[in-house]
Amino acid sequence: MIQTALTELLGIKYPIIQGGMGYTRNLAAAASNAGALGLVGAATFAFQSRNVQGWMGSGRRLPDEEGTPYEQFKRAFHRLAKATMETKGVFGLNLMLASEMANWTGQAIKGVKEVRDEDPDIRDRFRVIVTSAGNPLNWADAIKSVGIKWFHVVPSVKHAKKAEEAGVDLIVASGHEAGMHIAWEPVHSMVLLPAVVQAVSVPVVGAGGFCDGASLVAALALGAHGIQMGTRFIATVESDFTQMHKDYIVKLSERETTVARAIVGPGRYLKTEASMELTRLSVAKSPGPYLGAPDDLKEVPRDLVAKEVDGGEALSEGDEHRAIMPAGEVAGRINDIPTVKELIDRIMKEAEDTIRNLSVRFIQE
């Protein structure tokens, strides 16, 4: 059994975080039930709210849901708690702190406090808020007032130090090879992760390029206390993503992703005709080598970017040419679509076997 500061902080069985990717209710429950940390992303609810609809031009309604985005947000955690009650699984929220979503961020934090206060079982198992894409110092007081663990995702040592200053309990260092929301500059996990570990005193988890037992061991060797995976979890049976998205991940190579403008900063997508057109437009608007800075890309058409959030007709119709599907470079290492439990059990067995085999192969008495 591999135990780390991550498993101790949250009381989870395995040092694995299922990255927050919108309202992935089934995926979060499956990850939580399998002994990892399951996360629900707040972004889907935000994009339904008026505050964000006015900015991005459209919103997405959740299937079979009624009420305001705030009511749906709270209801999601009651349902997640029910779906994980038997295993007593641990779960949390992924929350973007980007300025474009400031109004929703405040509502989400308020909602977390309310649902935890309303139900002792939820309070016991809803143990963490994982923030990203914004300045944690601006939200430190609000998040700490909830009385919950706080993790923050960073793309650089500078951002890691700022997160530590804000008082987070753990830092997730996310390399440029990650899927969807990535940094403007291409600093990858092999460089970023050990640099962040050396720069801060709080525990660190690696994200970006992790998908199996060998890469978990690599993260541990670099000083991390676990891994966060997004793309690998998309290609699972319980994943809430479309079957086309899952199948497309499995069939592509590591060279078949592209970086382009996203709703917040740049994003990484599987290569399709639509995503490559978005890349072309993004690069055309950018004077620098890394897609420039946010201001350089303001003119990229929102209707193309909005497909990533709305799903679009292309996803529902199964048109892989017109679809825009977020994913990381690690898609090239994913070859199957297992259940979440099968995936996590396999990762942990591979990790333990790898550690044993390394000592046999390379350590001489």
Q: What residue spans define the domains of the chain?
A: 5-241+336-362, 250-330
Query: In terms of DSSP H, where are the helices of the chain?
Result: 5-10, 25-33, 43-46, 50-56, 69-83, 102-118, 120-125, 140-144, 157-166, 189-199, 213-221, 231-234, 243-251, 273-284, 302-310, 312-317, 340-362
Residue/partner pairs of 73-76 with CB below 8 Å, 24 or more apart? 73/42, 73/45, 73/107, 73/108, 73/111, 74/111, 74/114, 74/115, 76/23, 76/25, 76/40, 76/45
Mean pLDDT of 81-100: 94
Least confident range of 67-81, 141-155, 166-180: 67-81
Find the farthest-apart pair of alpha carbons in the chain and give their distance in angstroms, rounded: 66
Residue/partner pairs of 278-287 with CB below 8 Å, 24 or more apart? 278/304, 278/305, 278/324, 285/261
User: What is the per-residue pLDDT for 309?
Assistant: 47
- Determine the topology of domain 5-241+336-362 in CATH: TIM Barrel (3.20.20)
Question: What confidence tier does 176 reach under pLDDT thresholds 50, 70, 90?
Answer: very high
> What is the rounded (10 degree) CA torsion for 231, 243, 71, 75?
-80
186 alpha-carbon distance from chain centroid: 18
Query: In terms of DSSP H, where are the helices of 180-212?
Result: 189-199
Asked if pLDDT for residue 263 goes beyond 80, the answer is: no
Convert the pLDDT of each residue in 94-145 to its tens digit: 999 987 778 889 999 999 999 999 999 999 999 999 999 889 999 999 999 9
Convert the pLDDT of each residue in 289-329 to its tens digit: 555 444 555 556 555 565 554 445 777 778 888 888 999 99
Q: 355 in the Ramachandran plot: left (φ > 0), alpha (ψ -120 to 50) or beta? A: alpha
Of 293, 267, 263, 261, which Cα lies nearest the Cα of 280? 261
User: What is the per-residue pLDDT for 52?
Assistant: 41
Q: Which residues contact 152 (CB under 8 A, 6 or more apart)?
A: 130, 131, 132, 136, 163, 166, 168, 170, 171, 172
Residue 24 tokens, joined: 């992935």
Mean pLDDT of 21-33: 94
Q: Percent of the chain at pLDDT above 90? A: 68
User: What is the per-residue pLDDT for 327?
Assistant: 96
Residue 145 tokens, joined: 């007032």
